[in-house]
């Protein structure tokens, strides 16, 4: 009986197989490399970067020839100007009205919270948008009770228009006496120079808001009231001295 001998691998067989696989892999790698070389290059990607910021864009004169400040000028020395305003010092500022606050309408039959007190924003340049460089102006209008309306009826009121430039006298502060606040500073309104309705030119006169405690007419009334009280007190003192004699 003949036996089948197991097939033994030849010592050189493994080498031939490894060499064949290596040649195949090299051929495949060369083909892929050639295919990649023949592919068209990808289109160039155009990267558009934003233009560098212009740090001089918002700069204007700190003060104008007549001494009025710009908003930029006020805020350049913020702490110093606020300290002066808190001490009661009045300064003048010139700027364009950017926005005027309008209280939201309350639907009929509903109860709505009261609107904020009148205020508006001014900017150094008429084309400026947003509130980044705008400054709030507060206390430019006051509600006059009906019983006192007759006394104020002939007094000019403060009227500002969006886009118009005004010179305003006020106190530069961070916190107003009426509850407004801004870390960059706001202006408590005292008076302004109105514009001529025909020419649009600024008039050389200061207009104070009717009903304001600092209005010249109100100050005159208070002074007259104090004078009468002083006279009354002096008369009472004289009568007391006479009775003591």
Domain spans, the chain: 71-103+116-209
Determine contact, residues 188/173, Cβ cutoff 8 Å: yes
pLDDT in tens, the chain (245 residues): 444 444 444 454 444 444 454 445 445 555 555 555 555 555 555 555 555 544 454 578 999 999 999 999 999 999 999 999 999 999 999 999 999 999 888 888 888 888 889 999 999 999 999 999 999 999 999 999 999 999 999 999 999 999 999 999 999 999 999 899 999 999 999 999 999 988 989 999 999 999 999 999 999 999 999 999 998 898 888 888 878 76
- The pTM for the full model equals 0.72
CATH number of 71-103+116-209: 2.40.50.140
Structure tokens at 2: 């003949």
User: Given its phi and psi angles, is residue 202 left (phi above 0), alpha (psi -120 to 50 degrees) or beta?
Assistant: beta
């Amino acid at each position: 009986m003949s036996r089948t001998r197991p097939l033994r691998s030849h010592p050189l067989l493994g080498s031939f197989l490894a060499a064949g696989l290596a040649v195949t892999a090299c051929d495949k790698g060369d083909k892929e490399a050639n295919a990649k070389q023949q592919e068209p290059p990808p289109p160039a990607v155009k990267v558009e970067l934003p233009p560098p910021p212009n740090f001089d864009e918002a700069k204007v004169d700190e003060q104008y020839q007549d001494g009025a400040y710009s908003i930029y000028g006020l805020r350049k020395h913020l702490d110093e100007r606020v300290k002066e305003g808190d001490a009661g010092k009045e300064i003048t500022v010139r700027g364009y009205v950017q926005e005027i606050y309008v209280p939201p309408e309350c639907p009929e039959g509903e109860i709505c919270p009261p609107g904020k007190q009148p205020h508006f924003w001014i900017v150094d340049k008429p084309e400026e948008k947003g509130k980044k460089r705008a400054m709030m102006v507060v206390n430019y209008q006051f509600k006059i009770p009906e019983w006192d309306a007759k006394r104020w009826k002939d007094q000019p009121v403060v009227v500002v228009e969006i886009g118009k430039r005004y010179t305003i006298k006020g106190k530069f502060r961070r916190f107003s006496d009426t509850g407004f606040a801004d870390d960059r500073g706001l202006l408590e309104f005292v008076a302004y120079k109105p514009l001529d309705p025909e020419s649009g030119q600024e008039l050389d006169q200061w207009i104070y808001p009717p009903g304001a405690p600092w209005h010249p007419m109100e100050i005159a009334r208070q002074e007259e009231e104090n004078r009468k009280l002083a006279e009354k007190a002096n008369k009472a003192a004289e009568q007391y001295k006479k009775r003591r004699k």
